[in-house]
Amino acid sequence: NPLKLFFLSRHIKCFIIFCLCLGLIFLHKELLMPYKPCRAKTNVMFLKTHKTASSTVLNIMFRFAERYNLTVALPADQLVHLGYPKTFLAHFVEEFEAIGQNYNIMCNHLRFNPSEVKKVMAANTFYFSILRNPIRLLESSYVYYKDNVPAFRFSKDVNEFLASPMKYYHLEHYKKNMYARNIMWFDFGYDNNAEDNKKYIQAVLKEIEQNFHLILISDYFDESMILLKHTLCWDLDDVIYFKLNSRSQDTVQTLTPESEERIKVWCSLDWKLYLHFNQSFWRRIEETIGLKELEKEVNRLRTRQKELMDTCLLDQEAVGKDDIKNKAFLPYQSGDANILGYNLKQDLDNMTLRTCQKMVMPELQYTSYLYTVQHPHKKRKILPLPLASFQEKTQLPTPN
């Protein structure tokens, strides 16, 4: 019926015009509303896992704490970690009894224990951690902890160990052998020798999701820093970094394809942990930033990083332990690894020098420095570093 079609078309046109007008009203309202920038989160707990680029993240956290005059929950007395490998207790933090929940940042090594951490950190604390592909992680652990872990000590190389791990791995040495199997699972506070049971694994993954707001992936470190920046509402310079605690390529052992597959079985708890949070990591990026914007921001991060390296570094890159000129910046050396460090330019003005020093400062030295700043009345930490003059004259920034 032509008449019905005429009236139907008129109704459709009116409906479309109404929707357009409504859309314009909402758009006008949005444009008139004042922009409300997000507020930077300053209460942050980082679970520092082993061999996952976590020393670089710790340096980022320490610099953020200094930039905004925040308090850091530092290891008590002469400890350089928060009681690790013991399960964390609040009294492992210096002056916890006096300060209570007034710490802003926690990021030194600990074995996660949520009820005790909550005694130290505020109710609105943001919790995050970082994971690494267990295949690369185990090879790194093997080289770094070769002398300290009974399971590693008597095998020729990582491939020999993986060919028959139970030949070297004995449960009675579990307190020293945690680096040899499911170390990330252990750091999150769980039994790294637990049976690979689907129901148990799902329960643990759910618990980690409840305890942590964000899990980063070190295999995509720059992407992780951009996601962290967005999530914490930090600035780009807050997540700029120089890679710390890395090792020279000549100490990297080549895994056979068979060894890589064996790691997935030997460290099956870590493998499933990694697979789960690797998926959630990329899902989070797609939901919040988007891959196109992520690429732009990663490029900006790398450009800014290069600018700082050009400003600060004499060699424009990390150098081996024997080539580090100022031994106060020598990283802790362990096992068969050659842990790299940096040389700074000599002609830097005081402000630039301090910035550059903080960028390259190894974990133990930075922990000791902040401890002296926050607890000047306490005895200075004696660090396990082969530096004859470190205790008297470090050539590190002096506390203000």
The predicted-structure confidence for 252-274, as pLDDT tens digits, reads as follows: 999 999 999 999 999 999 999 99
Give the confidence band of 20 by pLDDT, cuts at 50, 70, 90.
low
Listed range (22-31, 96-105, 284-293, 370-379) with the worst mean pLDDT: 22-31
CA distance linking residue 45 with residue 214, whole number of Å: 11
pLDDT digits (tens, 9 = 90+) for 376-394: 999 999 887 654 344 434 4
CA-CA distance, 314 to 309, in Å (whole number)?
9
Query: Among 21-35, 151-165, 215-229, 361-375, whose mean pLDDT is lowest?
Result: 21-35
344 has pLDDT over 60 = yes
Report the candidate in 155, 128, 124, 133 with the shortest Cα–Cα distance to residue 142.
Answer: 155
Q: Which one is predicted more confidently, 21 or 298?
A: 298
65: buried, middle or exposed (CB in 10 Å: 19+, 13-18, 0-12)?
buried
User: What is the distance between the alpha carbons of residues 42 and 71, in angstroms, rounded to a whole number?
Assistant: 10
Q: How far apart are CA 311 and CA 126, in angstroms?
A: 33
Report the Cα 213 to chain-centroid distance in Å.
14
Residues 189-205 have a mean pLDDT of 97
CB burial of residue 93 (10 Å; 0-12, 13-18, 19+): buried
- Averaged over 165-187, what is the pLDDT? 93
The residue type found at 9 is S
Please determine, for residue 21, whether its predicted confidence score (pLDDT) is greater than 80: no
- Mean pLDDT, all residues of the chain: 90
d(C-alpha 342, C-alpha 357), whole Å: 10
Distance, CA of 72 to CA of 61 (rounded, Å)? 9
For residue 66, pLDDT over 90 is answered with: yes
- Per-residue confidence band for 173, with pLDDT thresholds at 50, 70 and 90: confident
Set out the domains of the chain in order of their start, with CATH numbers: 44-312 (3.40.50.300)
CA neighbor of 383 nearest in space, from 366, 358, 399: 366
Identify the pLDDT of residue 383: 85
Q: Which of 6-20, 95-109, 195-209, 346-360 has the lowest mean pLDDT?
A: 6-20
The pLDDT score that the predictor gives to residue 5 is: 47
- Does 207 have pLDDT greater than 80? yes
Omega within 30 of 0 (cis) for the link into 85: yes
Report the DSSP beta bridge partners of residue 75.
93
The stretch 74-81 carries a mean pLDDT of 95
Predicted TM-score of the model (pTM):
0.88
Q: Is the pLDDT of residue 397 over 70?
A: no
**Which of the four pLDDT bands, split at 50, 70 and 90, describes residue 372?**
very high
> What does the block give as tokens for 291?
């891959």
pLDDT value of residue 50: 97
Average pLDDT estimate for 271-280: 98
Residue 349, pLDDT > 50, answer yes
Q: Which residue has the higher pLDDT, 33 or 184?
A: 184
Q: CA neighbours within 13 Å on the CB side: how many for 360?
A: 32
With bands split at pLDDT 50, 70 and 90, how would you rate the model's confidence at 136?
A: very high
